[in-house]
Structure 1
Amino acid sequence: MTVLVGGVGQLYQGDLDLGRHAAERLAAASLGKEVVVEELHYGAVAVTQRLSELGVRELIVVGAAQRGDLPGSVRRRRVHAVDLPPERVAESVRDAVTGYVTIDLLLDVASGLGTLPARTVSIEVEPAWTQPGEYLSAEASTGLELALQLVTAEVGRLPLLELVDRLRPLTSTDRLEFAPALRTIRMVLDELETLDDAARWGATFSLRDRLRDDIANGQTPEGMDHQDWALWWALIEELDRCQVREAAG
């Protein structure tokens, strides 16, 4: 699994340069051996080529984006590839080849060219000022700190979401006979898909406890093999680790 955390921005353009500051801070952090941190300020087309070169499976972009919110506000978006009209893809590529780059332009070009990773998340800070300058505004600096926390949380959740991807096809068919534990794990996976989309844990941890009880009481389905057992317990253990991280803040 290769994860690319990219700081997207326009160099030395006030708060629009937030992505560079984020990349510098994150590069000095210990995010894991599978995580690559880079500044993505060199044009959206070149970035899409970089995605292919690295074989990126998970992409987290962080930077400033003007959405009309209060300056310093931080947003987290789960991004999905969409079928863009050919004329919009062509227009985005024309903008990109000039070296211009924004979060939206990068995502449009990557989606249009078919290189957007299946799991992509955008962490965005509303800028307060966009005039040429080396430093961030006070509002953007505050937003940057929260954005860095959100990026770290996203990276920490990726092993859990990889387990969801592996477990869903194994639990959504009739290969296993129905049992209380099967119903519970399906509910856990549903909650984790909400986490992936909206960053809300919901009833995940209480359902994990129910799943552990179902297993302890022998309420598991017939037909489970070694892979099933390994993945079920891996899910429970990863949720335990995530709960400790969430509690630690």
Structure 2
Amino acid sequence: MYEAYSSLVDDVDRAASTARRCWDQSPNSFVRAGCELRFGWDFAVAEALFATRVGVELASDLVGALLNLIETAQWAEDAVSGARDFINAEKTLIIRAAPPAQAAGQLPAEERSGRPADTPPAAPGIRAPNPQPPEAPAAHGLVSHYDCVNDNSDIGRYVPAGRYWENDFVARGATVTGGWVLIGAADDGADHRARVGIYTGTGRARPLAEIELSARGYDGESFEFPKPITVDPGQRLWVAVSGIGDFTAYDNQSGCFIARVNGYE
């Protein structure tokens, strides 16, 4: 348990130090706003990791108080002890246990289907307003097998390495060529690689094609398979994004994973 608090203190302190350096070196208010967004994301990741380790979630309005406690501590041991006492106070916790960590490929059925669980997202995303997939080119026979539109609801699902997020759909044509997925991560040089694939079974079973890409920013990522995938019209398929590094995937309010899968009749 001590290690969980110590890791939280280290992560928050590191995020604050990075934000201060970014702010000091920023030439204008636009760049400084980006620094604040970066800090918000880094804190959200630290909070999510802490919740996974100890089984409780921090109340979001306590960021400033916790950060001040860590920064004013004279010794690292004092910071950890202070954070522990502060967090253990009942008023600083959401009265809800954090969802237990799931083994890779063992998400609850409602999550594997892309529908939101009863618990809040593990790490809320920060991104540019309402990114949308690029328009599909006008071509004879082109179809969208799956198209979950972005309603800008910002329902983020943190996907660490070894985990995945998926949604099923029904093929509307005979080939799948590629598409677009709304995943995001800070462009910070860390490993935010994802594997996007089309599968014939849930849980990434029986892959038809997979391709690797990296999440850079929060506008989503397009993908195209090296060659078209042959499918049967009416066949039930799954699109999934798997964590090689980590990133956030987004659902809309209807519960579907925001993405598009393109192909031909």
Fold agreement, TM-score > 0.5: no
Task: Give 1 or 2: higher helix fraction.
Answer: 1
Task: Give 1 or 2: higher strand fraction.
Answer: 2
Give the TM-score normalised by structure 2: 0.28
